[in-house]
Chain A
Amino acid sequence: DAKTTQPNSMESNEEEPVHLPCNHSTISGTDYIHWYRQLPSQGPEYVIHGLTSNVNNRMASLAIAEDRKSSTLILHRATLRDAAVYYCILRDRTIGNTGKLIFGQGTTLQVKP
């Protein structure tokens, strides 16, 4: 499985935007880029995913570099509830492959009031 690299931790102020980076220089053409997050004492939850184009949903935006070797998860206005560990994961879309979720260490986001 292709590897991702994320900073161990980041801090943000409440109500400010947060940009969480992820490097995936060995990404293949068949990999989707997924983001999950894990709130304290909870199971992981899906945030967003994309393949080549930038994506938006009600939770966040995903900006994907043109060469796909990096991506950025954008939280437009951080709240205290967004404090969590954020995981950037590559999932292989080769036909017949379920693209199992392999978690790295993620980025621990702290949000200060």
Chain B
Amino acid sequence: DAGVIQSPRHEVTEMGQEVTLRCKPISGHDYLFWYRQTMMRGLELLIYFNNNVPIDDSGMPEDRFSAKMPNASFSTLKIQPSEPRDSAVYFCASQPIGGPNTEAFFGQGTRLTVV
């Protein structure tokens, strides 16, 4: 398996524009997580899905952020409108069934810069 695949790897956009980040989890994994990483706040869990259903979105910073998982092989994280403070590295991770007795696999991340 190619692992968790995120696209794009880098994104530069202007303030106010819509940004969509994409993630393809490892085939057969039941859980999908979205994280954001900044120097100030470290790695923050934004939302996670189980079998394509959002389970906990308490980490989503505000209504400008939304995430979807239309099927088991694809998820998106959308920011609309984007702001400079959204600049960060966004990671997607997937995990097989087994919960805390299994390991999560992370993608390479998308570096977002909002100017």
Q: Which residues of A contact B (CB under 8 A)?
A: 31-32, 34, 42-46, 49, 87, 91-93, 97-106
- In the complex, the chain B residue whose C-beta lies closest to that of A48 is B103
Contact indicator B101/A32 (Cβ below 8 Å): yes
| Given A98-B31, A100-B33: A91 and B108 interface contact (C-beta under 8 Å) | no
| Given A98-B31, A103-B42: A43 and B99 interface contact (C-beta under 8 Å) | no
Residues of B within 8 A of A (CB-CB), count = 25
Bound together, the chains give a CA A91 to CA B31 distance in angstroms of: 15
CB contacts under 8 Å to A, within B20-76, are: 31, 33, 35, 42-45, 48, 50, 55-56
Contact indicator B48/A98 (Cβ below 8 Å): yes
A-B contact count (CB 8 A): 60
The listed residue with most A CB atoms (<10 A of its CB), out of B4, B104, B107, is B104
Contact indicator A103/B43 (Cβ below 8 Å): yes
From B56, B95, B106, A43 is in contact (CB under 8 Å) with B106
Which residues of chain B come closer than 8 Å to A87, judged between CB atoms? 43
Q: Within the complex, what minimum Cβ distance (angstroms) separates A1 from chain B?
A: 10
14 CB-based A-B contacts, threshold 8 Å: A32-B100, A34-B103, A43-B106, A43-B108, A43-B109, A44-B106, A98-B48, A98-B50, A99-B100, A100-B33, A100-B45, A100-B48, A101-B33, A104-B42
Bound together, the chains give a CA A92 to CA B107 distance in angstroms of: 23
Which residues of chain B come closer than 8 Å to A46, judged between CB atoms? 103-105
